[in-house]
Chains A and B, each alone.
Chain A
Amino acid sequence: MSQVFHEIEKKIITSLRDNPKQTPELLEKSTQLSPDQIRRGIEWLKLKDLVIVTESKSTVISLGKNGIESFQKGLPERRLLDLLKTGPKKLSDLQKELGSVFGPSMGLARKNNWVEATSDKFSIKNSPSELPGEKTLKLIGNKKLPVDKLDANDLSGLLKRPDFIIEDVIKSKEITLSDSAKSIKLSNTQGEIDVEAKVPQVFVARTHPLKDTINEIREIFVTLGFSEIFGNMTQSSFWNFDALFTPQDHPARELQDTFYLDKINAKKIGTSEQIRKISESHKKNWRYQWDINEARKMVLRTHTTCVTIKHLAENKSDEARIFSLGRVFRNEKVSYKHLVEFNQIEGVVVGKDANLRNLMGIQREFYKRIGITKIKFWPTFFPYTEPSLQTMVYNEKLGKWIELFGMGIFRPEVTKPLGITKPVLAWGGGIERIAMLKYDLDDVREFYNNNLGWLRSTTKCQ
């Protein structure tokens, strides 16, 4: 069976069989193809490993301004010697005749003992029939010559002269057939196409890679018996912080960590009972004057926990598995590992028998389903959970443990004022971090760059 070739490819191969080393320019002549056809043909054949393209650099020599002048009038020292042929001459006369080149030409002539000075005049002492450089100058003339066609020794003197020689570095390609091409059969059948050839890239339309991870996580929690709830991204400080036992003077509530909305305050933040009980819990435990105006300040939620706690406060279920998934915000400098806005998953289990080991078990099951099996738990601290843990997962590529979800059991100081009587297991964490592991990304910003090159080429998670 023979491979099918494009007419262009056939012509190039045939020509190279006759003349095995050719430049693209030469191929243009020998094949009668256009420069663009030759370029494409070489590219195709190269991809099929049928031609070898060797790139080389060569230097081409031509004359500069002073070189051209010397080519026309003779080298300055030749002109000097010609003047002296007719007999000794005075310095001033020579200066007048030769102008600016007098100095260098006389210097050269004296150094080589071509002239001698007697009293006030100069005369020829020993004039060679061909001066150094003259042969090369004549050879170059008005042409451009490869440097290897010239006598390097003779050229070297000319190279030192200002504006005399121009050296151009020229890149050239040489095309030869590869061994496999030498024996390949060129079929002459009409209408067949090269089915082995490369084809143009088409781009698939697809969901965003991060959205794929979000959907995957959503599905895992649904199959684990959790129901999804939604909540607003803009929240009163009351639900984002106060309801979660974060005192009003807590550093996390400062402008430099949390986005506050400019001049926007919530009118209704909760029921009067909720407000009364939460403020009492703060006053009693944190010992400060709780301020309702502080609780009214609107923030971009710093976690989705505000959504779940609000849901629990409204529904007061004794048995529930719910989760919330969405954007959260932190006032941070954007960097390869920090975004101001990212996605978080947050889940809770309410039940009379809900306990810490269950909470750990749900985490382990979740990680197993996204393909992470090497995990461990470390104690940590959150203002609104007690006990509190964090999951550490082992990343083979980085060779280290990475912190993923935080978790804990809501403190009685959180649940009691809101009338929640059963233990509430809660956990949550950033999704981009997981997606970075899945897509092997080092820079979290890639998810929001909407770089079409990346979106069109990233393979889905396997």
Chain B
Amino acid sequence: MPVVELSYARLQKLVGKVTKKQISDSLPFLGLDIESEDKDLVRIEYSPNRPDYSTDFGIALGLQGLLGIKTGIVKLNVKKSNKYTISVKSGVSKIRPFVTGIIATHGKIDDKTIKQLITMQEDLHFGVGRKRKKSSIGIHDLDKISFPLVYTTTNRNHKFIPLNSEKEISISEILVNTDVGKDYGSLLGQSSQVPIIFDENQNTVSFPPIINAAVTTVTTKTKNLFVEVTGINKEDAEDMLSVVATILQTTGFTLESVKISGAKNSSPKLEQKKISVSSSLINQILDLNLNTSKMIASLKKSRLDASSKGTNIICTIPPYRFDIFGPMDLVEEVALGYGIQNLEPTLSPSQTIGKTNPISLQLKSLDQTMIGLGYLEALNSSLTSKRVLYDMTDRDSSKIISVLDSKSQEHTILRDSILPGLLDNLSRNIHESYPQKIFETGTVFTLGNPISEKINFSGISAHKDANFTEIKSVIQSALNIGFAIQIKTKTATNPTFEEGHCATITLNNIPIGIIGKIKSKIVENYKIRVPVVGFEMSLSESILKN
């Protein structure tokens, strides 16, 4: 979840007539988790579906609504203008086909605002923009740019001075030598042409989605902004633009339109949309008895507009709320505006009779039987390592099921057997007193259509007198008492078990497991200094009943 750092004092100023406590009490009810607080600073986790909460300006809008200071929709006032145009050349169609943009003038930007805008940009890039793949933003100093602009392509030898640099470097060099180039260069594919925005004088404004030109850098002296969003989809680019436009207007900028044309591009509409929801759905889902005016008031507290039409509520949604898909989202907006804390939990009687899964019951019964036999229950991960599963026990590793890119060396392979894990457990307990007897039941995995999951049962016993007879007695009693079945043991060989002390466990002449004395070499591998005997068998096929 993305995190944004805010100052209470600044929020108080933005929200107006509110105490610090009111703010900290209200944040969670906007769906914002307070991660940490340090005097005036507060770090807040917000949900990726609400990119407008990536700045304190956006959060202030939400708080104003919830606290009833300012409610209703935040309307975008975009002054129609013919001064600013971008023409799009067809070359971009195959690489990054869409551009959109807006002008923001007469604003004031201090250090903190710049910091908030940069965080917003990064969060938008990561979330809505899917790491700049879907869409990405450039924010520029308008006064350094001569319109009209052209969104076109250039070759990789093209040079300009990129942001945070002092000298001209080529596109190829940017892609190889800068962090952003390395991180996002792959979005441009192998094509010799890359997207570029030039101004009237053929000066580079931006090399989307990688980096802006240094000349348009926004500083605290900047008064007027040009925002461009490029992307692979027009709607997504406009969604992102609507968030930036809303935030800039909230900071005090005046918005002016940019005319865009060429290669299937058009000027952004930044339109509100209307969704209708029936009042009965709201009352049904929330189990409330609200009249339509209370619903409308609640929606307004969620910074939407609404009116009633019969028993339906017609809701007006600003363009930056593209997380709202349909009526159910509006039910949630009503709940938020109404206040989650005002919803009293109710316990309705169950119409159904509960039932434990028979497999769970049988496993629980087996657990009790094993405890009666003096065995302690162990629990191991199903995702384990080649070392534990195969290397230490000399088992066949030709059919391993591994996961990609695990962050933990100890968790890379799905277990096909439980016993190696139990041996590993004992090796970590050699300082504890003996006898040590442990067992585990759990899922094991084998390849096949595409993977089969079965429940296995394994146990081991380690002490100075541990022997085959002991462990056979245990499994014989456990299965007889637990499942009323009689097993037999047939001489066998197995890489993990000592020859002459190893047998297949059979049920009605069908092999279901293996039992015996663990090879002394393996016991030594594990640095265990007493003999170990053990067994492992499948429960799924012939023992557990659904």
List residues of chain A with CB under 8 Å of any chain B CB: 203, 205-208, 210-211, 215, 218-219, 221-230, 232-234, 249, 251, 255-256, 259-262, 264-267, 285, 287-288, 298, 300, 319-321, 325, 327, 329, 331-334, 339-341, 351, 353, 355-358, 360-365, 376-381, 383, 386-389, 392, 403, 409, 411-413, 423, 447-453, 455-456
Residue with the greatest number of chain A CB neighbours at <10 A, chosen from B336, B374, B379: B379
Given contacts A211-B379, A249-B134, A300-B383, contact A331 B356 (CB under 8 A): no
The reply on B114 being an interface residue by CB < 8 A is: no
A317 smallest CB distance to B (angstroms): 9
The reply on B471 being an interface residue by CB < 8 A is: no
Assess whether A331 is in contact with B346, with CB atoms less than 8 Å apart. no
A255 proximity list for chain B (CB < 8 A): 404-405
A456 proximity list for chain B (CB < 8 A): 376, 432
Assess whether B356 is in contact with A381, with CB atoms less than 8 Å apart. no
Assess whether B30 is in contact with A452, with CB atoms less than 8 Å apart. no
Assess whether B345 is in contact with A363, with CB atoms less than 8 Å apart. yes
Assess whether B382 is in contact with A327, with CB atoms less than 8 Å apart. yes
A363 proximity list for chain B (CB < 8 A): 345
Assess whether A333 is in contact with B453, with CB atoms less than 8 Å apart. no
Supply 19 further A-B pairs (C-beta < 8 A) apart from A230-B359, A333-B407: A205-B373, A211-B379, A222-B355, A225-B354, A226-B352, A227-B354, A261-B401, A285-B325, A320-B352, A353-B284, A360-B346, A361-B347, A363-B345, A386-B332, A409-B285, A412-B328, A448-B381, A451-B428, A453-B429
Q: What is the chain A residue whose CB lies nearest that of B233?
A: A287
> In the complex the two chains form, what is the Cα distance from A358 to B438 in whole Å?
43
The reply on B186 being an interface residue by CB < 8 A is: no
Q: What is the chain B residue whose CB lies nearest that of A359?
A: B345
> In the complex the two chains form, what is the Cα distance from A288 to B135 in whole Å?
13
Assess whether B335 is in contact with A380, with CB atoms less than 8 Å apart. no
> In the complex the two chains form, what is the Cα distance from A70 to B409 in whole Å?
64
The reply on B351 being an interface residue by CB < 8 A is: yes
Q: Which one of B331, B371, B383 contacts A329 once the chains associate, using CB atoms below 8 Å?
A: B383
The reply on B508 being an interface residue by CB < 8 A is: no
B298 smallest CB distance to A (angstroms): 12
Assess whether A387 is in contact with B453, with CB atoms less than 8 Å apart. no
Assess whether A358 is in contact with B403, with CB atoms less than 8 Å apart. no
- Which residues of B213-269 are within 8 A (CB) of A? 233, 235-236
Q: Which one of A249, A259, A361, A376 contacts B404 once the chains associate, using CB atoms below 8 Å?
A: A259
Q: What is the chain B residue whose CB lies nearest that of A387?
A: B332
A51 smallest CB distance to B (angstroms): 27
The reply on B411 being an interface residue by CB < 8 A is: yes
Assess whether B403 is in contact with A379, with CB atoms less than 8 Å apart. no
Assess whether A340 is in contact with B411, with CB atoms less than 8 Å apart. yes
The reply on B184 being an interface residue by CB < 8 A is: no
Q: Which one of B331, B347, B429, B453 contacts A362 once the chains associate, using CB atoms below 8 Å?
A: B347
* Interface mask (B352-369 → A, CB under 8 Å = 1, otherwise 0): 111111011000100110
Q: Which one of A232, A260, A353, A378 contacts B348 once the chains associate, using CB atoms below 8 Å?
A: A353
Sample of 29 A–B contacts (CB below 8 Å)? A205-B374, A205-B375, A206-B377, A224-B354, A227-B355, A230-B357, A233-B443, A249-B130, A251-B130, A261-B404, A287-B233, A288-B233, A300-B383, A321-B351, A327-B443, A329-B383, A339-B381, A340-B381, A340-B407, A357-B286, A357-B288, A357-B343, A358-B287, A378-B28, A380-B33, A411-B325, A411-B328, A423-B284, A456-B376
- Which residues of B286-331 are within 8 A (CB) of A? 286-288, 325-329, 331
The reply on B350 being an interface residue by CB < 8 A is: yes
Assess whether B326 is in contact with A412, with CB atoms less than 8 Å apart. yes
A420 smallest CB distance to B (angstroms): 13
B357 proximity list for chain A (CB < 8 A): 227-230
A323 smallest CB distance to B (angstroms): 9
> In the complex the two chains form, what is the Cα distance from A357 to B381 in whole Å?
37
**Main secondary structure on A side of the interface with B:** mixed
A321 smallest CB distance to B (angstroms): 5
A340 proximity list for chain B (CB < 8 A): 381, 383, 406-408, 411
Q: What is the chain B residue whose CB lies nearest that of A386?
A: B328
> In the complex the two chains form, what is the Cα distance from A20 to B107 in whole Å?
92
The reply on B151 being an interface residue by CB < 8 A is: no
> In the complex the two chains form, what is the Cα distance from A265 to B449 in whole Å?
9
Assess whether B285 is in contact with A259, with CB atoms less than 8 Å apart. no
Assess whether B287 is in contact with A355, with CB atoms less than 8 Å apart. yes
Given contacts A227-B352, A363-B345, A447-B379, contact A334 B410 (CB under 8 A): yes
Shortest 8 CB-CB contacts between residues of A and residues of B: A225-B350, A381-B47, A360-B345, A387-B332, A228-B357, A222-B354, A361-B347, A361-B345
Given contacts A227-B352, A356-B286, A409-B285, contact A377 B343 (CB under 8 A): yes
A331 proximity list for chain B (CB < 8 A): 403, 405-407
The reply on B49 being an interface residue by CB < 8 A is: yes
Assess whether A208 is in contact with B378, with CB atoms less than 8 Å apart. yes
> In the complex the two chains form, what is the Cα distance from A285 to B127 in whole Å?
16
Given contacts A341-B383, A360-B345, contact A260 B403 (CB under 8 A): yes
The reply on B190 being an interface residue by CB < 8 A is: no
Assess whether A448 is in contact with B379, with CB atoms less than 8 Å apart. yes
Given contacts A225-B354, A233-B443, contact A450 B453 (CB under 8 A): no
> In the complex the two chains form, what is the Cα distance from A251 to B127 in whole Å?
8
Q: What is the chain B residue whose CB lies nearest that of A403?
A: B33
A449 smallest CB distance to B (angstroms): 7
> In the complex the two chains form, what is the Cα distance from A362 to B406 in whole Å?
36
Q: What is the chain B residue whose CB lies nearest that of A352?
A: B284
Assess whether B47 is in contact with A249, with CB atoms less than 8 Å apart. no
Q: Which one of B130, B328, B445 contacts A409 once the chains associate, using CB atoms below 8 Å?
A: B328
Given contacts A227-B352, A412-B326, A450-B380, contact A234 B451 (CB under 8 A): yes
A227 proximity list for chain B (CB < 8 A): 352, 354-355, 357
B123 smallest CB distance to A (angstroms): 12
> In the complex the two chains form, what is the Cα distance from A223 to B353 in whole Å?
8
Assess whether A455 is in contact with B376, with CB atoms less than 8 Å apart. yes
B403 smallest CB distance to A (angstroms): 4
Assess whether A361 is in contact with B348, with CB atoms less than 8 Å apart. yes
B204 smallest CB distance to A (angstroms): 29
Q: Which one of A285, A329, A423 contacts B285 once the chains associate, using CB atoms below 8 Å?
A: A423
Q: What is the chain A residue whose CB lies nearest that of B437?
A: A205
- Which residues of B408-465 are within 8 A (CB) of A? 408, 410-411, 414, 425, 428-429, 432-433, 436-438, 443, 445, 447, 449-451, 453
> In the complex the two chains form, what is the Cα distance from A391 to B173 in whole Å?
51
Assess whether B354 is in contact with A208, with CB atoms less than 8 Å apart. no
Assess whether B377 is in contact with A207, with CB atoms less than 8 Å apart. yes
The reply on B133 being an interface residue by CB < 8 A is: yes
Assess whether B450 is in contact with A266, with CB atoms less than 8 Å apart. yes
Given contacts A205-B371, A251-B127, A327-B382, contact A351 B351 (CB under 8 A): yes
Assess whether B450 is in contact with A298, with CB atoms less than 8 Å apart. yes
> In the complex the two chains form, what is the Cα distance from A319 to B344 in whole Å?
23
Q: What is the chain B residue whose CB lies nearest that of A392?
A: B28
Q: What is the chain A residue whose CB lies nearest that of B31?
A: A379
A334 proximity list for chain B (CB < 8 A): 408, 410-411
Assess whether B354 is in contact with A321, with CB atoms less than 8 Å apart. yes
Assess whether A208 is in contact with B379, with CB atoms less than 8 Å apart. yes
B285 proximity list for chain A (CB < 8 A): 355-356, 387, 409, 423
> In the complex the two chains form, what is the Cα distance from A355 to B433 in whole Å?
55
B402 proximity list for chain A (CB < 8 A): 261-262
